[in-house]
Amino acid sequence: MGRAVRTLFVAGCVVLWLIPLYLLVVNALTPAAEYAGRPGWTVQGFDLWQNVRTAWDAAGIGDSFQASLLYAAVCGLVAVLVAAMAAFAVVVLPIPRPAFWFWLIYSGTLFPLQMFLAPLFGLYADAGLYDTRIGLMLVYAAWAVPFAFFLVRNQLTTMSPELTEAALIDGASFGRIFWRIHVPLMKAGLGAAFVFQFTAVWNDLLLGITLSRSPDVQPVMAALTTLNNAYASTGPPVILAGALIVSVPTLLLFLMFRGLFLRGITASTR
């Protein structure tokens, strides 16, 4: 009985998730000139490529798409690397008060992002980083470190300390131990952390609209809001086509690395 209830619950969640996706795809196919003014449940035509072309070229979402790809890939990699080093220091290195350092780094996930926006905006404006790619990359990398640190640190705590002790006896330095022993063993956890941080940076809207305004600097989610305002007269099909484009990279990333992602989550939650 309990298993049937769980199955029914999961099936209901899947249906609730698929309904908006179905409406997104169906209405993105509709020619903008033939849109009836409300979401349609059946395909009324096929003009997806024209809608995509309008969103990509005429609305300028292509520049923001490339910028977001840069932010998500580079900042995700940098954040995971920094988080791995910090986790190694907290778990493996003989530093004083490791619990203090853990909570200091992890506290970055505990405070709402909105409380940092005003001072961050003022700092960026004074430093000349406002509306620059390097400025957004700095804040995205720093923002992504705490949660990646949490995932990687959890996996590191499951590793036997005898590995480090044996390597030290053999004369290996801590740097060599990190790169040659722990990084290969943490591959699944690092991959899961990267998928999480790539998705988080890609889906960000708040920092994007606060710290940028130029089309070639703005992340893609901020560009979607501009698309919504500029092309409201053409109807939702163009906007929905833009949303469909935006959803592709994270979907492909998860499908490509789903095995590594699941192994990493399992290793990080033991």
Domain housing 144: 61-268
pLDDT at 74: 94
Does residue 18 sit within a domain?
A: no
Does residue 20 sit within a domain?
A: no
83-118: pLDDT as tens digits: 999 999 998 888 889 889 999 998 888 888 888 888
Flag whether the pTM goes above 0.75.
yes
User: Where residue 222 sits, what CATH number does that domain have?
Assistant: 1.10.3720.10
User: How many domains does the chain divide into?
Assistant: 1
Does residue 146 sit within a domain?
A: yes
The residue that leads in pLDDT, 60 or 166, is: 166
Cα 219 to Cα 70: distance, rounded to the nearest angstrom: 9
Cα 129 to Cα 135: distance, rounded to the nearest angstrom: 5
The DSSP line for 109-133 is: GTS-THHHHHHHHHHHHHHT-TT-H
pLDDT at 3: 76
Cα 70 to Cα 90: distance, rounded to the nearest angstrom: 30
What single letter denotes the amino acid at residue 95? Answer: I
Does residue 49 sit within a domain?
A: no
Residues 6+ apart with CB under 8 A from 50: 31, 32
141-171: pLDDT as tens digits: 999 999 999 988 888 888 888 888 888 888 8
Average pLDDT over residues 39-57: 73
Does residue 209 sit within a domain?
A: yes
Does residue 227 sit within a domain?
A: yes
Does residue 105 sit within a domain?
A: yes
Does residue 208 sit within a domain?
A: yes
> Residue 247 burial (CB < 10 Å; 0-12/13-18/19+)?
middle
Number of CB atoms found within 10 A of residue 246's CB: 22
Cα 226 to Cα 62: distance, rounded to the nearest angstrom: 13
The pLDDT mean for the chain works out to 82
